[in-house]
A = this chain, B = another copy of it.
Amino acid sequence: MSPKITTELLKQLRQVMKSPKYVQEPVQAYIVPSGDAHQSEYIAPCDCRRAFISGFDGSAGTAIVTEQHAAMWTDGRYFLQAAHQMDNNWTLMKMGLKDTPTQEDWLVSVLPEGSKVGVDPFIIPADQWKRMSKALRSAGHDLVPVKENLIDTIWTDCPQRPCKPLITLDPSYTGVSWRDKIVALRSKMAERKVLWFVVTALDEVAWLFNLRGSDVEYNPVFFAYAVIGMNTIRLFIDGDRMMDPAVREHLQLDSTLEPEFKIQVMPYGSILSELQAVGAGLSPKEKVWLSDKASYALTEAIPKAYRYLTPYTPICIAKAVKNALETEGMRRAHIKDAVALCELFNWLEKEVVPKGTVTEIIAADKAEEFRSQQKDFVELSFATISSTGPNGAIIHYKPVPETNRTLSVNEIYLLDSGAQYKDGTTDVTRTMHFGIPSAYEKECFTYVLKGHIAVSAAIFPNGTKGHLLDSFARSALWDCGLDYLHGTGHGVGSFLNVHEGPCGISYKTFADEPLEAGMIVSDEPGYYEDGSFGVRIENVVLVIPAETKYNFKNRGSLTFEPLTLVPIQTKMIDVNLLTQKECNWVNDYHQKCREVIGAELERQGRHEALRWLIQETEPLIRVQ
């Protein structure tokens, strides 16, 4: 990797920062955040403005450019990568280290008195604006919205905003029609006494209308906003996508409908002016509901007294609780996914052991190939992490030609991968050894497995927040002085984003709504030894009611059911470190893999993979 040369670009940016064509008054600093106008985690190429100006293309990072300086804030996952990708014009600000200043503190330390700091008001979330604006103001500076994105003005070969065809999902996939979702949303709005709800997150728009897209890689979403009133529905979307007869029928655009279900289609770019019109028409006590993560621009369109902001929207919460049909779809998707992985692992064992011709990239491609053979396959759900030996210790590793290693019988192989099927989203990690693992490797693997089981088999009261389960995953590692530096699980969408809120399992306590039956999260503890290997065992699990002997205060209890049904390599387990209960858990899990995945392999006539499955699911025997 050689760094991007940014001298000329920075010069151009500094010119437009002073140009009356773009700014009312010159700005002394310009902030380039990571996200898009929907605060997405994954973004389209046209939104990769921070990567364009700096060269650094990790998933998290904020650039700030002043007359004299250019600085990049990013976290521990990306220190090395950012240092490699940026030239000497840039100062790397390592977040999480003691001596690293916050963006606000740094700005205050370098700016001349009474400076203006510009930012695109569509890109910066309202809560972040508030924090930063306050800090700057108290030091005598001003945070100002710059309407036209200054990066876009100098980005001559900026790719077009994608505008790909939509997929319609009928209720046999979603369980609920979009009309019923609107009805449910309006009843939540009535409960909170709000008249309008603004849908800004891309996966929330997709979920609400039972539509999917492919504007952003891995995430089946499309660029759109929606504004829902008690009697109106406005969908802001571009292109000829609304000309598609299937979409028109799905949304009943040409039918005679009750007016409250009539969808008004408007241009994507008109959201701000439409919202301003809504804001201007409000009477006292009429409120508009927005996520507090919505952009500053859209939030400001509604006068402060009329805003109703919450960290989680009612759509976010409803989307997290999967209904019976969605759950069935997720089950089907995970069965197909397991078939593909049994094929892959059987193939790897055959290719790796005798031939040694498989690289990380070849293995990742082969995984995609097997998945694509399955019904309703759409695309991968994230970039496959195919890593062997020391690469396994890089938690967000993605093989590229420069780092690509060959799988061997001497190293641990870690594969974290998943796919989008029309009926569900998968995300699974398995860690395998194709030769003979060392006692130490087995020991670490077994601690991770113990943590995985502790979460998966946990029984806990209804309404428990995910952060209260995180330590269960770590306890066995902690006992030996080990740990891993990431959370234990994230919410998973239903043919939607592989990472979704508002629930998860982490020592961090944000994004942490109480768990309830029907939610789907990942369970993925790990252990990473820098420079030598990585272990992670990940299943996607469904929150289900648990039967218990007693029932304190009639609260009811919950537990998890694994949706992922892929063998956990028993060769890597030190059985003597397991309790009898843990040993039974592994055996029961493998029995279920045999029954469910075995039957599907049989049905698909995949006999070699079936043999592999049978061999990999032999019961463990614990010597007392």
Say if the beta carbon of A436 comes within 8 Å of chain B. no
Scoring A305, A478, A483 by chain B CB atoms within 10 A of each residue's CB, the highest score goes to A478
A459 proximity list for chain B (CB < 8 A): 478-479, 481
Interface members, chain A 466-504 (any B CB < 8 Å): 467-472, 475, 477-483
Looking at the complex, which of A120-128, A374-382, A550-558 is the stretch in contact with chain B?
A: A550-558
- Docked CA distance A477–B551 (Å): 10
Residues of B within 8 A of A469 (CB): 471
User: Is the C-beta of A132 less than 8 angstroms from some C-beta in chain B?
Assistant: no
Nearest chain B CB to A326 CB, angstrom units? 27
Q: Contact between B481 and A550 (Cβ–Cβ < 8 Å)?
A: yes
Assess the A478–B461 pair: CB atoms within 8 A: yes
Chain B residue numbers with a CB within 8 Å of A481 are 459, 546, 548-552, 557
How distant is the Cα of A479 from the Cα of B549 in the complex, in angstroms? 8
Given contacts A461-B483, A552-B483, contact A475 B478 (CB under 8 A): no
Tell yes or no: A458 within 8 A of B by CB. Answer: yes
Copies in the complex: 2
Interface pair B507/A478, CB less than 8 Å apart: no
> A347 at the A/B interface (Cβ < 8 Å)?
no
Shortest C-beta distance, A532 to chain B (Å), equals 13
Q: Is A460 interfacial (CB-CB < 8 Å)?
A: yes
Nearest CB of chain B from residue A488's CB, rounded to whole Å: 11
Q: Which of A442-469 contact B (CB under 8 A)?
A: 458-461, 465, 467-469
CA of A8 to CA of B376 in the docked complex: distance in angstroms? 77
How far is the CB of A11 from the nearest CB of chain B, in Å? 35
Task: Name the B residues within 8 Å of A552 (CB-CB).
Answer: 477, 481-483
Q: Tell yes or no: A509 within 8 A of B by CB.
A: yes
Q: How many residues of A contact B (CB 8 A)?
A: 33
- Write the chain B residue with the least CB distance to A447: B550
Which B residues touch A478, using CB under 8 A?
Answer: 458-461, 557
CB of A441, distance to nearest CB on chain B (Å): 13
Closest partner residue, chain B, to A482 (CB atom) = B552
Set of chain B residues within 8 Å of A468, measured between Cβ atoms: 467, 470-471, 507
Are A479 and B548 in touch, CB under 8 angstroms?
yes
A480 to B552 CA separation, bound complex (whole angstroms): 9
Which residue of B475, B483, B550, B557 is within 8 Å of A472 (Cβ)? B475
Closest to A551 in B: B481
Q: Which of A278-319 contact B (CB under 8 A)?
A: 305
Shortest Cβ distance from A461 into B: residue: B483
A-B contact pairs, 29 of them (CB 8 A): A138-B305, A458-B475, A458-B478, A459-B481, A460-B471, A460-B478, A461-B478, A461-B483, A465-B507, A467-B468, A467-B509, A468-B471, A468-B507, A471-B471, A471-B472, A472-B475, A479-B548, A480-B548, A480-B549, A480-B550, A481-B549, A481-B550, A481-B552, A482-B550, A482-B552, A483-B553, A483-B555, A509-B509, A579-B579
Which 8 residue pairs spanning A and B have beta carbons closest together?
A: A481-B548, A481-B550, A480-B549, A468-B471, A481-B551, A482-B552, A483-B552, A460-B478
Extra inter-chain contacts (16) besides given A469-B471, A478-B557, A480-B548, CB under 8 Å: A138-B305, A459-B478, A459-B479, A460-B471, A465-B507, A467-B468, A467-B509, A471-B471, A480-B550, A481-B546, A481-B548, A481-B550, A481-B552, A482-B552, A483-B553, A483-B555
